[in-house]
Amino acid sequence: MDSSVSRDAGITRDAGITMEKIVSLAKRRGFVFQSSEIYGGQSGAWDYGPMGIELKNRIQRFWWKEMTQLHDDIVGLDAAILMHPRVWEASGHVENFTDPLVDCKKCKQRFRADQIDQAKLAKKECPECGGELTDTRKFNLMFKTNIGPVDDGTGLIYLRPETAQGIYVNYKNILQSNRMKLPFGIAQVGKAFRNEIVTKNFIFRTCEFEQMEMQYFVKPGEDEKFFDYWRGQRWAYYEKLGVRMDKLRWHQHGKDELAHYAKDAYDIEYEFPMGFKELEGVHNRSNYDLTRHQEFSGKDLQYIDQDNGNERYIPFIVETSAGLTRQLLMVLCDAYEEQKVGDKGNEDDWRTVLHFHPELAPVTVAVLPLMKKDGLAELAQDIRQGLKQEFSTDYDQGGAIGRRYRRQDEVGTPFCVTVDYQTKEDGTVTVRFRDSMEQIRVKREELELTLKKAIKEYKRV
């Protein structure tokens, strides 16, 4: 089967993959589309197609399981996107969530002052056309809108720029309703909105995105211990996710980068095609957040430590803050490979393969009849039906079997099950493994167990 496949696999081309290739594959195979494309596109926004939504949901589930199911002291929350405007005053976003901006008076382009040539900025010279730049001014990144029937400014409301504040304002509710004791954490996944001026690099930086955040509440003095603990946990998560660990590194925030309230902060960075960039942050936020919300709301947010003589204090917070959509981009880039699999001297010698962890792959198993005729299609459909309860499946009967394998490789399907004439005779099928392209024959009754075992034991080669 698939006799065109040569075993000199292992040769890859394009060690340096480009963002163009990722964008093109993402569109071609239904992972990510430009928002409102038929109207020329909406910058800063992207739509997730049939493959993209499956991948995004699976990454989210992987993170959720890691943070809640595998950590007894973390519970979940889904807070509203629209929050009381005072929240954003207390959090400091109204005052400080700004980017420094300059405009060119000649070509009218807008730049982030901290991202252009600083010598040119000092001379007020446009980096694009040499025209004169305006003075630098602060630009707030929060989207404003209006709630209620009249648009006279009294109904000002913001689209949340992060999910974290929804957690802080529910801290007391969760403490009481779920009888939590310190230390404990609250996890949340949801949309966030930022009026980013420079939205490039595909879905890396967008105006609408999703975050996966966990806020861990601890006794003051224990914050450094838990900060180290969470750094370790978050690093281990990426190992489980099956990404290439040599592409990850830590970046500690220097004094000039550290937010005014933060005691310490590290980013996990990934080497994207455009270089090392932030993937997620682990921050020691001190007791800033709850102190501010106590001050602005007038509500007592102290923790009463019943195990220590009813001592009262405002907890410190260790935060792990990851971008879901940014992680999806990382997973796509990390999985992508162009691999030599034949020697005919043409394009068929190469396959594009996405080495997703099987738990992340949009389709887990594709069932392919060798031929449409002689009852093979019906038999394959029946086998697919039997797998559906346990796995996400696909069925493809169109074209040469080698082509069909390639199509599945390109969307990262880890297993293909091929149904042929022998299946009719002895009830066995072929299981083809995406990464090694190895094929084994198994009995139909053993298929489910074989696949489950392979998923459990999966290791990226």
Minimum separation from the CB atom of position 213 to ligand ATP (A): 7
Q: Are 26 and 332 in contact (CB under 8 A)?
A: yes
Q: H helices then E strands: how many in the chain? A: 14, 24
Residue nearest ligand ATP by beta-carbon distance: 323
Q: Which of 160, 292, 326, 434 binds ligand ATP (CB under 6 A)?
A: 326
Residue placing its CB nearer to ligand ATP in the complex, 81 or 371: 81
Name every residue whose Cβ is closer than 8 Å to that of residue 386 and which is 6 or more positions away in sequence: 444, 447, 448
Q: Which of 79, 159, 175, 322 binds ligand ATP (CB under 6 A)?
A: 322
Instruction: Please tell me what DSSP assigns to residue 348.
Output: G
Rg, C-alpha atoms of the chain: 26
Minimum separation from the CB atom of position 275 to ligand ATP (A): 13
The reply to whether 305 sits near ligand ATP by the rule CB under 6 A is: no
The reply to whether 270 sits near ligand ATP by the rule CB under 6 A is: no
Q: What is the DSSP string of 314-365?
A: PPEEEEEEEEHHHHHHHHHHHHEEEEE---SSSGGGEEEEE---TTT-S-SE
Question: CA-to-CA distance for 430 and 416, rounded, in angstroms?
Answer: 8
The number of residues that bind ligand ATP (CB under 6 A) is 16
Question: CA-to-CA distance for 204 and 199, rounded, in angstroms?
Answer: 8
Q: Which of 111, 209, 226, 303 binds ligand ATP (CB under 6 A)?
A: 209
Q: Are 271 and 284 in contact (CB under 8 A)?
A: no
Question: CA-to-CA distance for 150 and 321, rounded, in angstroms?
Answer: 36
Residue placing its CB nearer to ligand ATP in the complex, 125 or 196: 196
What residues does 278 pair with on adjacent strands?
Answer: 269
Q: Which of 165, 287, 321, 413 binds ligand ATP (CB under 6 A)?
A: 321
Binding mask 179-208 for ligand ATP (x = CB under 6 A): ---------------x-x--------xx--
The reply to whether 289 sits near ligand ATP by the rule CB under 6 A is: no
- Give CA separation, 443 vs 128, 217, 257, 384, in Å: 65, 51, 59, 14
Q: Which of 325, 393, 413, 430 binds ligand ATP (CB under 6 A)?
A: 325
Q: Are 312 and 305 in contact (CB under 8 A)?
A: yes
Residue placing its CB nearer to ligand ATP in the complex, 205 or 434: 205
The reply to whether 271 sits near ligand ATP by the rule CB under 6 A is: no
The reply to whether 334 sits near ligand ATP by the rule CB under 6 A is: no
Residue placing its CB nearer to ligand ATP in the complex, 280 or 409: 280
Minimum separation from the CB atom of position 319 to ligand ATP (A): 8
Residue 51: both structure tokens together: 């493959």
Kind of pairing between the strands at 415-419 and 365-369: parallel
Can you say how many angstroms the Cα of residue 187 is from the centroid of all Cα atoms in its chain? 15
Q: Which of 280, 359, 396, 420 binds ligand ATP (CB under 6 A)?
A: 280
Minimum separation from the CB atom of position 44 to ligand ATP (A): 8
Q: Which residues bind ligand ATP (CB under 6 A)?
A: 162, 194, 196, 205-206, 209, 211, 278-281, 321-323, 325-326
